[in-house]
């Protein structure tokens, strides 16, 4: 393991809105042994669905700021109480962003657990 790398992990919660918002942004450069990330997202609401997507920004900060991203996970719907784990980070990204939005007209709550490796 590269001694210069350190893992990042955490748990975030929030509520969806009527347009996509960043729920999580992790700068994965220098994280873990491989600079990759595992993301688990759960719809913690009791009545409504949510949509989420995960994008990876390759390269350096310039590439990230220019909006050039790779869709790690295309828009996916999670029903109430449903969790999904994404480990499709097949390479190191400069940043990984999880975005969430209402799937229906009413907001719902979510939880994201993440860990770099």
pLDDT tens readout for residues 50-76: 999 999 887 655 544 456 888 989 999
At 117, is the pLDDT very low, low, confident or very high (cuts 50, 70, 90)? confident
DSSP class of residue 1 equals -
CATH no. for 9-116 = 2.60.120.510
In DSSP terms, which residues pair with 11 in a beta bridge? 113
Task: Summarize pLDDT for 91-105 with one digit per residue, the tens.
Answer: 777 788 999 999 999
Alpha helices in the chain (DSSP H): 61-65
Q: Give the whole-angstrom CA distance, residue 76 versus residue 84.
A: 10
At 7, is the pLDDT very low, low, confident or very high (cuts 50, 70, 90)? confident
Of the candidates 87, 96, 89, the one whose C-alpha atom is nearest the C-alpha of residue 27 is 96
Give the global pTM: 0.84
Q: Tell me how many degrees the CA angle 22-27-30 measures, rounded to the nearest 5.
A: 165
């Amino acid at each position: 393991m590269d001694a210069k790398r350190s893992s990042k992990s955490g748990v975030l919660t929030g509520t969806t809105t009527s347009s996509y918002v960043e729920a999580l942004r992790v700068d994965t450069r220098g994280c873990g042994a491989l600079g990759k990330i595992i993301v688990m997202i759960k719809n913690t609401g009791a009545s409504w669905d949510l949509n989420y997507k995960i994008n990876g920004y390759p390269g350096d900060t310039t590439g990230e700021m220019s909006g050039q991203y790779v869709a790690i996970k295309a828009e996916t719907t999670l029903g109430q109480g449903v969790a999904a784990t994404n480990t499709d980070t097949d390479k190191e990204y400069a940043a990984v962003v999880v975005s969430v939005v209402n799937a229906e007209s009413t907001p719902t709550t979510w939880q994201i657990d993440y860990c770099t490796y």
